[in-house]
Structure 1
Amino acid sequence: MVDLLVAWGVAQTVGFIFKPILEDLAKDAAKDFAKDFLKDSLKHVLLPDKEPVNIAIGKAIKEFLQLVQQQLEVADLSEAEQKQYTEPLKQFLKNKSVKEVLGSAFKDDCQGLDTKKLAKIWHELNLLPLPDDFSWKQVNKPYLNKVKAIIRESPQLRAILDSQNIEATAKNTKELAGIVPEFDLRRYQEGIRERYANLNLDSLDTTVYDYREKLKVWQVFIAQNVRECQDFLHQVYEIPKEHQKRLRESNELEAEFDPQEWERYKQVYYQQPVRSVLDVVNDLQSDRLPPQPPLVRGEQDSLSLSKGQKQDFVPVPPLNKGGLGGVNAGCNYIVILGDPGSGKSTLLQYIALNWARTPLNNVISQPIPLLIELRSYSRDRNSGQCKDFLEFCHKGSVICRLNQHELHERLKSGKVLVMFDGLDEVFDPVQREEVITDIHRFTNDYPNVRVILTSRIIGYKPQRLRDAQFRHFMLQDLESEQIQDFIHRWHELTFTDEADKVRKRERLQQAIKTSSAIGELAGNPLLLTMMAILNRNQELPRDRPELYNQASRVLLHQWDVEQKLLEHPRIDSVAIDYKDKQAMLRQVAYFMQAADQGLAGNLIRGEDLEKILTGYLKSIEVSEARTVARLLVEQLRSRNFILCFLGGDSYGFVHRTFLEYFCASEFVDRFGKRGLEGGLTLEELKTEVFGKHWQDESWHEVLRLIAGMIDTSFAGEIIEYLMALDGEAQKFINLFLAAECLSEVRNLSTNIATQLLNHLKKIAAYGYYETVGTEEYMLIVGIRSRAVKAIARTWREDQKILKWLKNMH
Structure 2
Amino acid sequence: MERGAEARRRFADWLHEVHVAAGTPSSDKLEASSRAAGRKGRALSSSGVQRLLSGKLVKAPEWEFVTAFLDACVACAPASAPVPAALVARPLWWNRHQQLVTVLATTRSPARSRGGQGDEPSDAHAVKTYARRVRESYGRLDLEVLTPDNDQSVQQKVELREVFVVPTVRADPPPVELSRELMVRLLQGEELAAEDELPPGLDLALLDSLVEAYRQRPPEHVLEVLAREENRRVVLLGDPGAGKSTLAHYLAMTLTADPDPCGPLAPLAGHVPLVVELRHYAQPAWRQTTFEDFLEHLWVTEGMALPRPTLSRLLGEGRIILVFDGLDEIFDPEFRAETARRIAGFAARHERCRVVVTSRVVGYQRKTLDGADFTHYMIQDLDTPRIHAFARRWFDTACPEQPALADRLFNRFKDAVAHSASVRELAGNPLLLTILAILGRRQTLPRDRHGVYQHAVTVLVARWDRDAKHLTTHLSGSVADALDALGQVERLEMLRLLARRMQEGAGGISGNYIPEADIEDVFRQYLQLCDIPPDVARRAARAMVQQLRERNFILARYGGGAWGFVHRTFLEYLAAADIVHRYEHEREWTPEALVHEVLLPRARDTTWHEVILLLAGQLRERDTGTLVDGLVDAAASGDLGERLSLALRALAEVKKIGVLAPQSTTVVDGITRVLGLESLRRGEYLTFGPSYLPVEAAAPALASFSEHWTGRGRFLAWFHVWGQFLPGPTAARLACALHRDETAVIAYARFTWSPGGRAAAVAELAARWSGSPVALETVRTCAVHDEDVQVRGTALRALVSATADTERAEELHAFLQDRAVRDPAPGPRKQALDHLLAGYPDDRTRRFFEQRAVHDRFDAVRAHAESLVDRLTWPDGDGGEKHEDARIPLFARQRALARLEGRLEEEGPESEAEWALTAWRSGRYRPLVELGEPFRPASVEKELALWLRNHPDDLRMLMRDVHRLTEDTLRSLSKALNRDVREYRPLSSFRIRSAALAIIGLAPGEDTRDFLVACARELPDDELRVEAAHVLAETQNDDPAVAALLLDLAQHDPVPAVRLSLVRSLARDCSHRPAVRDVLYTCAAGDPDADVRLHALNWMAQWWPDHPGWEALFGTDAPGGGQDERLLRLKALASGGRDEELTRALAAEPEAPVREQLRHVRLLQEAPERTARAVFRHRLLTGFGRLLKARRRAAAP
TM-score, structure 2 normalization: 0.39
1 CA distance for matches of 2:210 and 2:462? 41
Inter-CA distance 691–480: structure 2 relative to 1 (3 Å threshold): same
1 CA distance for matches of 2:556 and 2:488? 20
SS of the aligned residue for 1:520 comes to helix
Instruction: Give the match for residue 667 of structure 2.
Output: 753
SS of the aligned residue for 1:372 comes to strand
Q: Deviations 1:737-791 (Å, cap 9, x if unpaired)? A: 45544543545414641464256437853999x9xxxxxx99x64635x545455
Distance apart, 1:637 and its partner CA = 6.3
Aligned counterpart in structure 1 of residue 165 of structure 2, from 204, 222, 225: 222
Report matched runs for 1:274-289 at 5 Å. Answer: 274-282=219-227, 284=228, 287=229
SS of the aligned residue for 2:270 comes to coil
Instruction: Give the match for residue 326 of structure 2.
Output: 422
CA contact (8 A) 1:641 1:654 kept: no
One-letter amino acid of the counterpart of residue 188, structure 1: Y
Inter-CA distance 391–626: structure 2 relative to 1 (3 Å threshold): same
Inter-CA distance 519–260: structure 2 relative to 1 (3 Å threshold): closer
Q: Deviations 1:594-627 (Å, cap 9, x if unpaired)? A: 3444446667788866765675577688999959
Aligned counterpart in structure 1 of residue 288 of structure 2, from 357, 377, 386: 386
Mind listing any 5+ residue stretches in structure 1 that lack a counterpart? 1-169, 172-180, 241-255, 288-329, 771-776
Aligned counterpart in structure 2 of residue 807 of structure 1, from 689, 714, 725: 725
2 CA distance for matches of 1:573 and 1:761? 56
One-letter amino acid of the counterpart of residue 591, structure 1: R
1 CA distance for matches of 2:613 and 2:314? 59
The reply to whether residue 203 of structure 1 matches residue 145 of structure 2 is yes
SS of the aligned residue for 2:324 comes to strand
Mind listing any 5+ residue stretches in structure 2 that lack a counterpart? 1-115, 118-122, 183-200, 704-711, 729-1197
Structure with higher RCO (Cα < 8 A, 6+ apart): 1
Instruction: Give the match for residue 471 of structure 1.
Output: 375
2 CA distance for matches of 1:557 and 1:629? 16
Aligned counterpart in structure 2 of residue 518 of structure 1, from 413, 423, 441: 423
Report matched runs for 1:244-283 at 5 Å. Answer: 260=205, 263-264=208-209, 266-270=211-215, 272-282=217-227
Distance apart, 1:577 and its partner CA = 7.2
1 CA distance for matches of 2:314 and 2:642? 64
CA contact (8 A) 1:386 1:392 kept: no
The reply to whether residue 699 of structure 1 matches residue 608 of structure 2 is yes
CA contact (8 A) 2:496 2:577 kept: yes
Distance apart, 1:574 and its partner CA = 10
Instruction: Give the match for residue 386 of structure 2.
Output: 482
Distance apart, 1:711 and its partner CA = 3.2
Instruction: Give the match for residue 586 of structure 1.
Output: 496
CA contact (8 A) 2:647 2:667 kept: no
SS of the aligned residue for 2:136 comes to helix
Distance apart, 1:352 and its partner CA = 0.7
The reply to whether residue 377 of structure 1 matches residue 281 of structure 2 is yes
| Range that drifts further, 181-190 or 524-533 | 181-190
CA contact (8 A) 1:375 1:426 kept: yes
Inter-CA distance 644–426: structure 2 relative to 1 (3 Å threshold): farther
Q: Deviations 1:579-608 (Å, cap 9, x if unpaired)? A: 555434322322344344444666778886
Distance apart, 1:211 and its partner CA = 5.4
Instruction: Give the match for residue 356 of structure 1.
Output: 256
Aligned counterpart in structure 2 of residue 783 of structure 1, from 691, 716, 738: 691
Distance apart, 1:353 and its partner CA = 1.3
Aligned counterpart in structure 2 of residue 530 of structure 1, from 421, 428, 435: 435
Distance apart, 1:217 and its partner CA = 1.7
Distance apart, 1:199 and its partner CA = 1.2
Report matched runs for 1:151-190 at 5 Å. Answer: 184-190=126-132
1 CA distance for matches of 2:314 and 2:454? 51
Inter-CA distance 617–712: structure 2 relative to 1 (3 Å threshold): same
Distance apart, 1:345 and its partner CA = 0.9
1 CA distance for matches of 2:290 and 2:511? 40
Instruction: Give the match for residue 359 of structure 2.
Output: 455
1 CA distance for matches of 2:223 and 2:330? 26
2 CA distance for matches of 1:641 and 1:395? 31
Distance apart, 1:350 and its partner CA = 0.6
RMSD between aligned alpha carbons? Answer: 5.3
CA contact (8 A) 2:392 2:410 kept: yes
Aligned counterpart in structure 2 of residue 192 of structure 1, from 134, 137, 144: 134
One-letter amino acid of the counterpart of residue 165, structure 2: I
Structure having the larger proportion of residues in helix? 2
CA contact (8 A) 1:557 1:578 kept: yes
CA contact (8 A) 2:282 2:330 kept: yes
One-letter amino acid of the counterpart of residue 385, structure 1: R
2 CA distance for matches of 1:683 and 1:512? 34
One-letter amino acid of the counterpart of residue 702, structure 1: V
Aligned positions, number: 555
1 CA distance for matches of 2:666 and 2:261? 73
2 CA distance for matches of 1:762 and 1:681? 37
Name which one, 1 or 2, has greater alpha-carbon Rg.
Answer: 2
Inter-CA distance 518–218: structure 2 relative to 1 (3 Å threshold): same
CA contact (8 A) 1:417 1:450 kept: yes
Percent of aligned pairs sharing the same letter? 30
One-letter amino acid of the counterpart of residue 456, structure 1: R
2 CA distance for matches of 1:452 and 1:610? 37
Aligned counterpart in structure 2 of residue 342 of structure 1, from 236, 242, 261: 242
2 CA distance for matches of 1:463 and 1:661? 39
Instruction: Give the match for residue 670 of structure 1.
Output: 582
SS of the aligned residue for 1:490 comes to helix
The reply to whether residue 331 of structure 1 matches residue 231 of structure 2 is yes
SS of the aligned residue for 2:436 comes to helix
| Range that drifts further, 545-554 or 360-369 | 360-369
CA contact (8 A) 2:135 2:253 kept: yes
One-letter amino acid of the counterpart of residue 799, structure 1: L
Distance apart, 1:201 and its partner CA = 1.2
| Range that drifts further, 371-380 or 715-724 | 715-724
SS of the aligned residue for 1:558 comes to helix
Aligned counterpart in structure 2 of residue 435 of structure 1, from 339, 357, 370: 339
1 CA distance for matches of 2:441 and 2:640? 43
1 CA distance for matches of 2:376 and 2:638? 45
Q: Deviations 1:344-372 (Å, cap 9, x if unpaired)? A: 11011010112332479999982221212
